[in-house]
């Protein structure tokens, strides 16, 4: 990549999964999960999303669906363990919403965390965020 690096917006209050680049926002006892702008920069425009069912318990790293984008097809993997409360039905019928509003209406899944303290320790947050972003950008440029 030549010229200026693309700047990705990564809200610092969120937690990020290192490999999948998913974000996690915990409010009370509910975690909302979505694709970060960094993930979307890799995938391109999301064209299709397929998910499992709400009510199931998942472990961190377990597949919970799949995503088809302009540049690739990939599994949607749970960044935390817990009970799946809901999948965003709006993005299933309108996947472009994920690209248009990744941190708002484009969320993917809501989970009731079962091991938040443990899972959060493996996610990127706070002061480590800027360094992680730089590392990810360097990998993308290669």
Tell me the pairing of strands 63-69 and 109-113. unpaired
Fold of 29-116: OB fold (Dihydrolipoamide Acetyltransferase, E2P) (2.40.50)
Cα 22 to Cα 60: distance, rounded to the nearest angstrom? 12
Find, among 115, 21, 28, 125, the residue nearest to 74 by Cα: 21
Parse the chain into domains and list their residue ranges: 29-116
| Close Cβ partners of 59 (under 8 Å, ≥ 6 residues apart) | 78, 81
pLDDT of residue 6: 60
- In this structure, the dihedral spanned by the alpha carbons of residues 74, 79, 82 and 87, taken in order and rounded to 10 degrees, is -50
Q: Would you write out the chain's pLDDT as a tens digit for each of its 142 residues?
A: 333 446 778 899 999 998 888 999 999 999 999 999 988 888 889 999 998 889 999 999 999 999 999 888 999 999 999 999 999 999 999 999 999 999 999 999 999 999 999 999 999 998 888 888 888 888 777 6
pLDDT at 52: 83
């Amino acid at each position: 990549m030549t010229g200026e690096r693309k700047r990705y917006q990564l809200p610092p209050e969120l937690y990020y999964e290192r490999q999948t680049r998913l974000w996690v926002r915990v409010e009370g006892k509910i975690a909302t999960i979505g694709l970060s702008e960094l993930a979307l920069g890799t995938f391109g425009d999301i064209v299709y999303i397929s998910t499992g069912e709400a009510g199931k318990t998942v472990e961190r790293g377990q597949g919970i669906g799949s995503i088809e984008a302009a540049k690739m097809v990939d599994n949607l993997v749970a960044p935390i363990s817990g009970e799946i409360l809901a999948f965003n039905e709006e993005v299933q019928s309108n996947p472009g919403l994920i690209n248009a509003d990744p941190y708002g209406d484009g969320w993917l899944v809501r989970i009731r965390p079962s091991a938040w303290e443990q899972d959060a320790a493996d996610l990127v947050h706070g002061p480590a965020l800027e360094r992680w972003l730089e590392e990810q950008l360097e990998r993308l440029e290669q």
